[in-house]
């Protein structure tokens, strides 16, 4: 049973094998906050709740902005875990205070295994993209770079990857999904994720569209597969780290200052992604779509996909439960 509005209503998510494992179900992450009073219903209204979640993320975002990239490797090694923890704690606070639930998407059991798997998948997908570009004569290594960049890149990319996953998947995707189901939420967050990259250096409409398709869909699929952040955070980090720290190519249009390989990309922008980087390449789009399809099939088998009609019925039940509770309280002596 799912508690909402002071009453109990049936969960609309299908039972699945995930219920008996470390993985939460989709419904385990839905808000359990009361909706009996008008102000409570306003707070739980999806756009309002998403904005409140963004407010919770502001302090660590400001802290990240104050931490410049000119720091020594040792200072970065100290600050990166603190930043990452600050982002995670912002979600914990939002879940406990606003949604009145446990933040099970951050449950630690087996999280390191999922993180490693995600990191390996992200690195493999990007490496496969670069391998195909090498075969097409589009990627060239000039010389070896800085070996320490492989480590410093982790400290640079890890906190921001966590931030983007908290914002796009743990907040926006999850909150929209509560209202209109998984498929519509996936499309909406993918479009928004692509649009947010239009402000990056070298950004184009093609690049933003590629980000929406390859990253927006892939990362949402990874989140749905486990309903936790470890896999998708590792995937996002591995992809960015391989681009910037390993192969030395632009990360979403942003050039890197240090990398293990010094390289350059040549050839048609339609193949290489041009000034936005290889993320705008059709090679990356196809490979990521294939990976997203596999993860989505796994999510479907696990019963982690929620239908639009199911969610609309659930919201109507919550509304009716809240109105019933208000009427009961009003008639009480």
Q: Can you give the pLDDT at residue 144?
A: 77
In a domain, 327, yes or no: no
Higher pLDDT, 24 or 309: 24
In a domain, 146, yes or no: yes
What mean pLDDT comes out for the span 104-127?
A: 96
* 3 beta partners: 8
Higher pLDDT, 19 or 135: 135
Look-up: residue for tokens 């406990």? 96
Look-up: residue for tokens 């390996």? 120
Q: Rounded distance, CA 178 to CA 306, Å?
A: 9
Q: Can you give the pLDDT at residue 318?
A: 67
Contact 106, 88 (CB under 8 A): yes
DSSP state of 249: -
Does the structure show a pLDDT above 50 at 158?
yes
What mean pLDDT comes out for the span 145-151?
A: 85
Q: Which two tokens stand for residue 102?
A: 């446990």
In a domain, 328, yes or no: no
Contact 10, 27 (CB under 8 A): no
Contact 124, 239 (CB under 8 A): no
* Segment 285-324, tens digit of pLDDT: 999 999 999 999 999 999 999 887 777 777 777 666 655 5
Q: Can you give the pLDDT at residue 146?
A: 82
Among candidates 235, 211, 229, which has minimal Cα distance to 87?
A: 229
Within 10 Å of residue 12's Cβ, how many Cβ atoms? 20
Instruction: Reduce the DSSP state of residue 14 to 3 states and report it.
Output: coil
* Segment 299-308, tens digit of pLDDT: 999 999 988 7
Does the structure show a pLDDT above 50 at 149?
yes
Angle between helices 217-226 and 182-196 (to 10 degrees): 140
Q: Can you give the pLDDT at residue 319?
A: 62
* Segment 276-286, tens digit of pLDDT: 999 999 999 99
Q: Rounded distance, CA 220 to CA 134, Å?
A: 29
Higher pLDDT, 73 or 140: 140
In terms of Cβ atoms closer than 10 Å to its own Cβ (0-12, 13-18, 19+), residue 264 is: exposed
Q: Which domain holds residue 171?
A: 2-108+118-322
Within 10 Å of residue 282's Cβ, how many Cβ atoms? 15
Does the structure show a pLDDT above 80 at 15?
no
Does the structure show a pLDDT above 70 at 330?
no
Lowest-confidence range among 24-38, 121-135, 179-193, 285-299?
24-38
Name the pLDDT band for 21 (thresholds 50, 70, 90): low
Q: Can you give the pLDDT at residue 3?
A: 33
* Segment 222-273, tens digit of pLDDT: 999 999 999 999 999 999 999 999 999 999 998 888 889 988 899 999 999 9
Domain count, the chain: 1
* 143 beta partners: 262
Q: Can you give the pLDDT at residue 314?
A: 73
In a domain, 212, yes or no: yes
In a domain, 166, yes or no: yes
Cα Rg of the chain, angstroms: 21
In a domain, 113, yes or no: no
Contact 325, 36 (CB under 8 A): yes
In a domain, 92, yes or no: yes
- Provide the mean pLDDT of the chain: 87
* Segment 42-93, tens digit of pLDDT: 999 999 999 999 999 999 999 888 876 667 777 888 899 999 999 999 999 9
pTM: 0.87
Name the pLDDT band for 28 (thresholds 50, 70, 90): very high
Among candidates 247, 57, 73, which has minimal Cα distance to 162?
A: 57
Does the structure show a pLDDT above 80 at 8?
no
């Amino acid at each position: 049973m799912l508690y909402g509005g002071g009453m109990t209503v049936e969960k609309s998510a299908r039972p699945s094998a995930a219920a008996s494992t470390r993985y939460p179900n989709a419904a385990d992450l839905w808000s359990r906050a009361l909706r009996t009073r008008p102000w409570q219903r306003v707070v739980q209204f999806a756009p309002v709740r998403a904005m409140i979640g963004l407010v919770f993320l502001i302090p660590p975002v400001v802290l990240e902005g104050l931490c410049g990239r000119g720091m020594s490797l040792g200072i970065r090694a100290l600050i990166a875990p603190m930043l990452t923890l600050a982002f995670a704690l912002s979600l914990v606070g939002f879940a406990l205070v606003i949604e009145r639930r446990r933040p099970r998407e951050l449950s630690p059991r087996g999280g390191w295994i999922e993180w490693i798997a995600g990191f390996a998948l992200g690195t493999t997908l990007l490496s496969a993209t670069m391998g195909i570009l090498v075969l097409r004569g589009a990627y060239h290594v000039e010389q070896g770079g800085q070996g320490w960049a492989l480590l410093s890149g982790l400290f640079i990319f890890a906190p921001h990857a966590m931030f983007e996953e908290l914002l796009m998947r743990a907040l926006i995707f999850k909150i929209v999904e509560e209202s209109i189901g998984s498929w519509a939420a996936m499309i909406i967050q993918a479009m928004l994720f692509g649009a947010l990259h239009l402000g990056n250096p070298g950004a184009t409409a093609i690049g933003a569209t590629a980000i929406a398709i390859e990253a927006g869909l892939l990362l949402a699929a990874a989140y749905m597969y486990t309903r936790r952040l470890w896999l998708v955070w590792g995937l996002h980090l591995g992809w960015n780290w391989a681009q910037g720290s390993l192969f030395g190519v632009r990360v979403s249009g942003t050039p890197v200052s240090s990398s293990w390989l010094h390289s350059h990309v040549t050839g048609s922008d339609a193949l290489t992604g041009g000034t936005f980087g290889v993320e705008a390449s059709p090679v990356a789009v196809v490979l990521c779509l294939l990976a997203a399809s596999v993860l989505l099939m796994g999510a479907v088998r696990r019963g982690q996909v929620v239908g639009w009609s199911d969610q609309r019925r659930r919201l109507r039940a919550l509304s009716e439960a809240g109105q019933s509770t208000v009427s009961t309280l009003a008639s009480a002596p």
